[in-house]
Amino acid sequence: MFARRNRRPPSPELAEAREHLDRGDVPGALRELRRASSVPLGEVAVVVGRAAAAAGFDDLRKAAAALAAHPDRVRPLYDYGYACVERGVSFLAIPALGEALRLSPGSSGLLRELVSAYEDEGRHRDAVEALLAHEDGLADWPDRYLLVFNAVLAGDLELARRQRARLPAPAEDTWLGAHDRQNRVLDRAADTGPVSPLDHSDLRGWQYVMGGTVLGTLSPHGFDAGMAGRYAWVQDTHGRCLHGLLRLKAVLGAAGVRPGSVSLLPDRGSRILGLAAAEVLGLPAVPFEAGREDTVVIAYDLDDTARADGGPEALGELFHRAPGQVLHEHASCWTDPPAVAADSVTLLHQSVVPPWGETLGQGADGGMERGAADGRPEAEIAADITGADPVPDTGDDQTPADPIDALTDFASAVRGTWLRGDRARLRSSGPVASSRFL
């Protein structure tokens, strides 16, 4: 009786996760497991093993079974954490890797894997604290590099600069690209600081520091209610497209960039927007060609480009910048960033419907229904863009004012570090957190 009275009650999160698995709902089970941070690892591993089996992830299933049997041993903890990171559920890896590092505090491999899991989850401050807790044993490459990297993404430029000063150039060629990229990040921060606050609400400033992207507009909805200038769902309009192109034109002028053409990427949305951009910028429109200099490459949404015939090759060719080349993306997904970071972006979204897509509207019965996509020729839709009203949405009046002068002053201030280096994918949302929706 005594043992039964003191037995730990079952976790409600695990119970609900099991119910989801009983219904074949693995994503629902994972949502519940995200809430089970205080549940013993062995108990969590049993449920994770079931989810892994349902998903066909045999490596994770085996690792979870080993951890459930021996939750106090370093090797099962590490193997399970590693498998979780590899399978895209890094939130499950963090408790296991943290416990493994507690049991084996001198292990650089455990520390690096834990930092990787924190990075995947956007928990850059936690990654910094883990690295600082083991600072005496850090190797310069990659450990101190990772400390600088995560300090920037946590918004701590003072720490990043202090640690960068202690970081010698890498002796191995493997790290040369990362070294150059990190130096460009901190150079951009030096240019940005005098004209932008770089606090935890400065979306434009941090987008530029992290990826070299000049953000043209801020969402006028929910700024103080969790969105911080990003959009969740956008039903786009011709007018918003024109507004973005006019802001691009202003940025190019302020930065002293004078392209000679507009390059059209292969997907339909990019060709439509590119034809409109050619009209707005007064430039000829030409098909995209790798290595073309002094051109503006126009993308509507680079994720759409990646799905088009020839799109993946085009994105690969855009990773390394040609002289005078500017990559502009109208609608960029911030929750699943594209393979390359654009130099200019009109807006950041989680989900977008282009004006020529299957937009939602009110049906005859008063309910909402999805309309047919606009199948007209691309040039006709581009003409609708250039003839649209570019006045931006006034929003909820809670977003800070963002006049065109603020954007052009920003572009002028950072012109010395803009359009430099490669266009490495921006994997983190950085110091400015926003609500996201599943």
**Is 111 within a domain?**
yes
**Tokens matching residue 28:** 């629902």
Neighbours of 62 (CB within 10 A): 16
DSSP assignment of 271-323 equals HHHHHHHHHHHT--EEE--TT--SEEEEES-HHHHHHSTTHHHHHHHHSSPPT
> How many independent structural domains does the chain possess?
2
pLDDT at position 9: 67
**pLDDT (average), residues 227-240:** 96
- How much of the chain exceeds pLDDT 90, in percent? 89
Q: Is the peptide bond before 390 cis (omega within 30 degrees of 0)?
A: no
Pair 138, 211 in one domain? no
pLDDT of 400-427, one tens digit each? 889 999 999 999 999 999 999 999 999 9
As a whole number of angstroms, the longest Cα–Cα distance in the chain is 85
Contacts (Cβ under 8 Å, ≥6 apart) of 39: 11, 13, 14
Pair 175, 214 in one domain? no
- The pLDDT confidence band at residue 272, using thresholds 50, 70 and 90, is very high
Asked if residues 394 and 186 have their Cβ atoms less than 8 Å apart, the reply is no
Bridge partners for 298 per DSSP = 264, 328
Pair 174, 235 in one domain? no
* C-alpha R_g of the chain: 24
- The pLDDT confidence band at residue 8, using thresholds 50, 70 and 90, is low
Query: First and final CA of the chain: distance in angstroms?
Result: 44
CATH at 241: 3.40.50
pLDDT at position 273: 98
Q: Which of 334, 131, 344, 156 is nearest to 254 (CA)?
A: 344
pLDDT of 200-221, one tens digit each? 999 999 999 999 999 999 999 9
Question: Which residue among 158, 187, 216 closes a domain?
Answer: 187
pLDDT at position 392: 85
**Is 312 within a domain?**
yes
- The pLDDT confidence band at residue 112, using thresholds 50, 70 and 90, is very high
- The pLDDT confidence band at residue 6, using thresholds 50, 70 and 90, is very low
- The pLDDT confidence band at residue 307, using thresholds 50, 70 and 90, is very high
Asked if residues 228 and 432 have their Cβ atoms less than 8 Å apart, the reply is yes
**Is 55 within a domain?**
yes
Pair 237, 139 in one domain? no
232 vs 225: CA distance, rounded Å: 12
pLDDT of 357-370, one tens digit each? 998 765 556 666 78
Pair 293, 378 in one domain? yes
pLDDT at position 367: 62
Pair 105, 237 in one domain? no
3-state secondary structure 213-224: CEECCCCCCCHH
Would you call 353 helix, strand, or coil by DSSP?
strand
DSSP assignment of 48-61 equals HHHHHHHHT-HHHH
**pLDDT (average), residues 90-116:** 97
Q: What is the mean pLDDT of the chain?
A: 94
Would you say the pTM of this structure is higher than 0.85? Answer: yes
Would you call 352 helix, strand, or coil by DSSP?
strand
Domain that holds residue 104: 2-187
Q: 61 vs 47, 80, 81, CA distance in Å?
A: 10, 9, 12
Is 10's pLDDT higher than 90? Answer: no
52 vs 65: CA distance, rounded Å: 10
